[in-house]
Amino acid sequence: MRIVWFGFVVNTLFYAAIMWLLILGAFALRRVSRRKRGLCVACGYDLRGNLEHGCPECGWRREAAS
């Protein structure tokens, strides 16, 4: 039994890429679903759909408004 280094490296990169896609996809889905429900995309605070004025809880998108 020998380690096939090329296959090992290719498999590692391949599965790492899939893991990254899953993680990034989960974060993107969470942002989209929060935005749809009118919640702060950063902390989930209920903004009642008023996303333009930012979030008073965590300060998301607050710099431009104040």
Least separation in angstroms between CB 27 and Zn ion: 15
What single-letter DSSP state applies at residue 4?
-
Which one of 2-10, 12-20, 26-34, 53-61 is the stretch in contact with Zn ion (CB under 5 A)?
Answer: 53-61
**Distance from the Cα of residue 36 to its chain's centroid:** 15
Task: Return the structure tokens found at 47.
Answer: 């903004």
Is there binding between residue 51 and Zn ion (CB under 5 A)?
Answer: no
**Is 61 one of the binding residues for Zn ion (CB under 5 A)?**
no
Q: Which stretch binds Zn ion (CB under 5 A): 2-10, 14-22, 25-33, 43-51?
A: 43-51
Alpha helix (H) residue ranges in the chain: 5-37
Cβ neighbours of residue 53 closer than 8 Å, sequence gap 6 or more: 47, 61, 65
Which spans of this chain sit near Zn ion (rule: CB under 5 A)?
40, 42-43, 45, 55, 57-58, 60
